[in-house]
Structure 1
């Protein structure tokens, strides 16, 4: 294994020629600084998740010109094997995470279909976390590593495009980014976090997926198939 797996993953992403590379994060040295910091943790013995090849997967699966909707998460699941680089997406062998169960119920999905949200990403749903890495057993470990700059810039870049998109902002951290969005041109639908720990219980029944599809239809776009079958 390389001594710098995250830096190598960044180099591979650069080689892909992704439109996201135009973000300042990738042009002013911030990406390299964040990758180096994560690689330092790996060198110190930390198990970093997800696999290096999946760290930039949200940007790879949903290029900037393809974005039709944006969903923001916090950081990857901290259990090895659970995360695949897309916010809220679950590919583990255990029970679905509690928040994802609530999300899928709101989307009308059968739990038996699992929790892999790749199908959403490939329809133009940017599933981006505030931190693209985490350490095994340590949720939130990399939230202050600098990844959030990428998330802010990605939201602003989608907002700056002429094409309309919908932003589904769940919970305080995501809702704080509403200030980065031109709400005269884009749809913004806010609610509480889907976590069962959210005492307000203001996510169930908020109909984010139906509202998003109605907004897209009103602006000449096709609906997103949110159900996982």
Structure 2
């Protein structure tokens, strides 16, 4: 699958001054004995699996899971298929209630392969330290990526929680923006559950003559 756009974008950004600061921070944390997730080879996995031209939906997360063996480079996804993190469990509950699909695997790669960009705004984290890399420069990178995506004008953006919704200005009037509370157990009942965003997204794609997303993972 051609991924020229994101490959060029990543190559360009990784040579910028702000990104050199990210690299230095990652090296310092590693030298100081901190485990960093996901594996560095998976930092850009969201872009590798979902090419720019194929993107239909963007689901925005905050930072990777900070528990060993879970983060796989895709927001909300888990490489340990036997562990379904709490937020993902609520996502699955809403999908079942909305479109009648029952999922029991936490590997979300199939969604990405269909055009769902599962993007965290920070692409790394230290073990046991949520948001530990939220201010090291990653958001410069992911904000620019969102601005690039906004030029397509026909993408669905799912913005869950205050952090994701704060990125709305980067998107402007591009595409369809679906907002709600975060699917975390602390806030899912405040608007995420019952929002029917998954069927709304597919209806929008269908109107554009695009193939809807099959939310069934297995």
TM-score calculated relative to the size of structure 2: 0.89
Structure-2 residue corresponding to 1:194: 183
- How does 1:102-117 map onto structure 2 within 5 Å? 102-108=90-96, 109-112=101-104, 114-117=105-108
Of 43, 64, 78, the residue aligned with 1:76 is 64
Q: CA deviation at 1:176?
A: 1.1
- How does 1:165-184 map onto structure 2 within 5 Å? 165-183=155-173
Structure-2 residue corresponding to 1:11: none
- The alignment yields a C-alpha RMSD, in angstroms, of 1.9
1:222 aligns with 2:200: no
Structure-1 residue corresponding to 2:147: 156
Structure-1 residue corresponding to 2:134: 143
1:55 aligns with 2:55: no
Q: CA deviation at 1:66?
A: 1.5
**Matched position secondary structure for 1:45:** coil
Count of residue correspondences: 211
CA contact (8 A) 1:66 1:124 kept: yes
Equivalent-residue separation in structure 2 for 1:214 and 1:116 (angstroms):
24
Equivalent-residue separation in structure 1 for 2:139 and 2:177 (angstroms):
20
Q: CA deviation at 1:30?
A: 2.4
Q: CA deviation at 1:139?
A: 1.1
Q: CA deviation at 1:129?
A: 0.4
1:98 aligns with 2:98: no
Equivalent-residue separation in structure 1 for 2:85 and 2:194 (angstroms):
19
CA contact (8 A) 2:59 2:117 kept: yes
Relative to structure 1, the CA distance from residue 169 to residue 216 in structure 2 (aligned partners, 3 Å threshold; closer, same or farther) is same
Q: Which runs of 5+ in 2 are unaligned?
A: none
Structure-2 residue corresponding to 1:22: 9
Equivalent-residue separation in structure 2 for 1:122 and 1:199 (angstroms):
26
| Cα offsets for 1:54-103 (capped at 9, x unmatched) | 11101111121121110110111111110100000012265411110000
Equivalent-residue separation in structure 2 for 1:49 and 1:156 (angstroms):
26
Q: CA deviation at 1:28?
A: 2.7
- The worse-fitting range, judged by mean Cα deviation, of 211-220 and 102-111 is 102-111
Of 196, 202, 206, the residue aligned with 1:213 is 202
CA contact (8 A) 1:120 1:225 kept: yes
TM-score calculated relative to the size of structure 1: 0.85
Structure 1 consecutive aligned stretches of length 4 or more whose deviation exceeds 6 Å: none
Q: Which runs of 5+ in 1 are unaligned?
A: 1-15
